[in-house]
Amino acid sequence: MEREVRVRFAPSPTGPLHIGGVRTALYNYLFARRHGGKMILRIEDTDSQRFVPGAEEYINEALEWLGIGIDEGVREGGEYGPYKQSERRDIYRRYVKQLIDAGKAYYAFDTPGELEAKRAQVANFQYDASTRGGMRNSLAMPEQEVKALLDAGTPYVVRFLIEPGRDVVVDDLIRGKVVIKSDILDDKVLYKSADDLPTYHLANIVDDHLMLVSHVIRGEEWLPSAPLHVLLYEAFGWTDTMPSFVHLPLLLKPDGKGKLSKRDGDRLGFPVFPLEWRDPKSGNISSGYRESGYLPEAVVNFLALLGWNPGDDTEVMSMEELISKFSFEHCSKSGAKFAFEKGKWFNHTYLQAISDADLAELFKPVLLANGVNPADFSDDYISRAVGMVKSRINFVSELWGHARFFFVEPEAYEAKAVKKRWTAETPAIMAELIEVLKGLDDFSSKAAEPVVLGWIAENGYHLGNVMNAFRLAVVGECKGPHMFDISELIGCDATVARIAKAIERIRISE
Ligand code: GLU
- Residue to mutate, 24, 46, 52, 218, ligand 1, most ligand atoms under 8 Å from C-beta: 218
Half-sphere exposure of 131 (CA within 13 A, CB side): 18
- The three-state secondary structure class of 398 is helix
Residue 214 has pLDDT above 90, yes or no: yes
Q: Whose CA is closest to 412, among 473, 352, 354?
A: 473
User: What is the per-residue pLDDT for 38?
Assistant: 98
Average pLDDT over residues 195-210: 95
Q: Which atom of ligand 1 is nearest to the CA of 208?
A: 9
How does strand 157-160 pair with strand 105-108?
Answer: antiparallel
Q: Whose CA is closest to 44, among 108, 79, 4, 87?
A: 87
- Residue to mutate, 48, 56, 172, 204, ligand 1, most ligand atoms under 8 Å from C-beta: 204
User: Per-residue DSSP letters for 232-270?
Assistant: HHHHHT-GGGPPEEEEEPPEE-TTSSSB--HHHHHHHT-
Nearest CA to ligand 1 atom 5: 10
CB-defined site of ligand 1, < 6 Å:
10-12, 44, 204, 218, 222
Nearest CA to ligand 1 atom 2: 11
Residue 510 has pLDDT above 80, yes or no: no
CA–CA distances in Å: residue 208 to residues 6, 223, 316, 494, 506: 10, 16, 34, 67, 73
User: What is the per-residue pLDDT for 49?
Assistant: 84
Q: How far is the CA of 116 from the centre of ligand 1 (A)?
A: 27
CA–CA distances in Å: residue 236 to residues 96, 184, 191, 233: 10, 21, 16, 5
- Residue to mutate, 22, 41, 44, 245, ligand 1, most ligand atoms under 8 Å from C-beta: 44
Are 216 and 246 a contacting pair, CB within 8 Å? yes
Give the pLDDT confidence of 355-371 residue by residue, as tens digits. 999 999 999 999 999 99
Q: Whose CA is closest to 335, among 176, 175, 178?
A: 175
Residue 433's H or E segment, with its range, is helix 426-438
At 48, the pLDDT band (50, 70, 90 cuts) reads confident
User: What is the per-residue pLDDT for 1?
Assistant: 59
- The three-state secondary structure class of 392 is helix
Q: How far is the CA of 8 from the centre of ligand 1 (A)?
A: 10
Nearest-angstrom CA–CA distance, 469 and 263: 47
User: What is the per-residue pLDDT for 147?
Assistant: 97
Nearest-angstrom CA–CA distance, 153 and 248: 43
Q: How far is the CA of 319 from the centre of ligand 1 (A)?
A: 24
Q: Which atom of ligand 1 is nearest to the CA of 200?
A: 1
Q: Which atom of ligand 1 is nearest to the CA of 24?
A: 8
Q: Whose CA is closest to 424, among 300, 510, 326, 305?
A: 510
Nearest CA to ligand 1 atom 10: 11
Q: How far is the CA of 330 from the centre of ligand 1 (A)?
A: 23
Residue 504 has pLDDT above 90, yes or no: yes
Angle, CA of 143, 145 and 146, to the nearest 5°: 65
Can you give the pTM of this predicted structure?
0.92
Average pLDDT over residues 236-258: 95
Q: Which atom of ligand 1 is nearest to the CA of 44?
A: 1
The distance in angstroms from the start CA to the end CA of the chain is 86
- The three-state secondary structure class of 466 is helix
Give the pLDDT confidence of 459-497 residue by residue, as tens digits. 999 999 999 999 999 999 999 999 999 999 999 999 999
* pLDDT, the chain, mean: 96
Q: Which atom of ligand 1 is nearest to the CA of 218?
A: 8
Q: How far is the CA of 126 from the centre of ligand 1 (A)?
A: 24
Residue 173 has pLDDT above 80, yes or no: yes
Instruction: Please indicate whether residue 262 is annotated as part of the active site.
Output: yes
Residue 508 has pLDDT above 60, yes or no: no
**Of the ranges 106-110, 148-152, 256-260, 401-405, which one carries the lowest mean pLDDT score?**
256-260
At 50, the pLDDT band (50, 70, 90 cuts) reads confident
Give the dihedral sign, CA 327/328/334/336. Answer: positive
b/e for 359-393, b at 16 or more Cβ within 10 A? Answer: bbbbbbebbeeeebebeebeeebbbbbbbbbbeeb
Q: How far is the CA of 235 from the centre of ligand 1 (A)?
A: 21
At 114, the pLDDT band (50, 70, 90 cuts) reads very high
Q: Which atom of ligand 1 is nearest to the CA of 9?
A: 8
pLDDT > 90: percent of the chain: 97
Q: How far is the CA of 10 from the centre of ligand 1 (A)?
A: 5
Residue 223 has pLDDT above 80, yes or no: yes
Residue 507 has pLDDT above 90, yes or no: no
Set 262, 333, 337, 364: catalytic member: 262
